[in-house]
Amino acid sequence: MRRVAICGLSMCKVGNHYNKSLRELFAEVTLDAMESAGNPNIDAIYVGNMSASEHTFQKNMGALLSNSIGLNSTPSMLVECADGSGGAALYEGYKAVASGLHDIVLVGGVEKMSEVTRGENRKIGSMAIEQDYEAFHGLSLDGQFAIIMRYYMHHYGVSKRHFALFAVQMHKHATGNRYAQLPYEISLEDALNMQTIADPVTLFDTAPTGDGAAAVIFCPLERARSFTETPVEIAGAGQASDTLALYDRKNILTFKATTEASKIALESSKLKIPDIDLFEIHDSYTISGFLALEDLGIIERGKVGQAIEEGLIDSNGSFPTNLSGGLKARGHPMGATGVYQAVEATLQLRGEAKKNQVDPAEVALIQNSAGIGSLVTVHVLKRV
């Protein structure tokens, strides 16, 4: 297996890009990523996207998007795992280069969510959950996370306040990220008084909907310096799945796919959690962020609120987490999010994260999840 590096990247601000179509968003960002690597020939493209077939009735997205950047012969394929599509696309791109089958691979994530109603977006998001037995009876993705959050609060004796603290922290980080959708602070009071989505999940327990695109270029590590002065290696990659249905879980206070995927990624990178300088985790809901921190082994179970109050995940804490603002404040353009994480972590490792730069920044871990952790992909990135 060859060693693989990121040698180019780009992203756009997450938000309501009413004046840009799906293919325009993708094209702008991927062309920019290719330029950042000196415009190498691209051998293959992997695309992460969740909802183009609902929003624009478009299947065969791979070909649409490769055409949008004038690459009309390059094999281009859509990888779909709901909001874990970005991480899965990264994983496929990594394999393609590691296998030796392709040399230069473009991985792009793109989503347009701004041009349908919020209700429509919730419905599309709920397609990530088990349809025949759960959604059929009226459960939604919001409802699933509400069940988990309620049980977490009951089991650990934890109040809404802890979750609100997480949302506040995410927004604090986002103020230093010019690509974030919501780059402003929120008060704890605001966070505690938002309208209910699915009790106890309130508006500030969920990620906003928005449009976005992000892209990275993979190449063999040995060639990386011909494309960039600051290559970053994919030191490890792992993926695991879990039951799709919530009722099928043995323990709903853990997404074991996160633990399994990170174990694989850390083992292949020969690193442990204390070696990691920064994390980008999948806080599609505040409870999702809590479980990620626990399942990765960063914080003891039930203690996330405390840890946040102690500054553990702050930029100058022991485990800087979601310096981008996370899904809550950077935003969550469903299929693109996993690729945003890769871009943000790489900028940190290159020392280019500006206001949010942490130090040291040698190793990063990014975790992207589908639905209720039905598929989780973890990558460990390392400065070369």
The DSSP letter of residue 14 is -
167 neighbors 191 (Cβ within 8 angstroms): yes
229 in contact with a second copy (CB under 8 A): no
Closest to a second copy by CB, 88 vs 329, is: 88
Q: Which stretch binds a second copy (CB under 8 A): 25-33, 146-154, 222-230, 233-241?
A: 233-241
96 in contact with a second copy (CB under 8 A): yes
Q: Which stretch binds a second copy (CB under 8 A): 8-16, 88-96, 193-201, 300-308?
A: 88-96
CA distance 187 to 167: 9
170 in contact with a second copy (CB under 8 A): no
Closest to a second copy by CB, 33 vs 79, is: 79
Closest to a second copy by CB, 146 vs 245, is: 245
344 neighbors 323 (Cβ within 8 angstroms): yes
3-state DSSP of 198-251: ECCEEHHHECCCCEEEEEEEEEEHHHHHHCCCCCEEEEEEEEEECCCCHHHCCC
Site for a second copy in 27-56 (CB under 8 A): 44, 50, 53-54, 56
Least separation in angstroms between CB 49 and a second copy: 9
104 in contact with a second copy (CB under 8 A): no
237 neighbors 91 (Cβ within 8 angstroms): yes
CA distance 176 to 315: 11
Which of 139, 217, 240, 353 contacts a second copy by CB under 8 A? 240
Residue 365's H or E segment, with its range, is strand 363-370
Measured CA distances, 296 to 106, 251, 259, 282, 289 (Å): 28, 16, 6, 11, 11
Burial of 44 from C-beta contacts in 10 A (0-12 / 13-18 / 19+): buried
Closest to a second copy by CB, 160 vs 379, is: 379
**By rule CB under 8 A, what string of x and - marks binding of each residue 109-148 to a second copy?**
------------------xxxxxx--x-------------
1 neighbors 99 (Cβ within 8 angstroms): yes
Compute the residue count for the chain: 384
251 in contact with a second copy (CB under 8 A): no
Residue type, 360: P
Least separation in angstroms between CB 76 and a second copy: 5
Interhelix angle 286-295/256-269, nearest 10 degrees: 50
245 in contact with a second copy (CB under 8 A): yes
Closest to a second copy by CB, 109 vs 371, is: 371
Which of 16, 175, 241, 306 contacts a second copy by CB under 8 A? 241
Q: Which residues bind a second copy (CB under 8 A)?
A: 1, 21, 23, 44, 50, 53-54, 56-64, 66-67, 71-82, 84, 88, 92, 95-96, 98-101, 127-132, 135, 237, 239-245, 248, 256-257, 260-261, 370-371, 374-375, 377
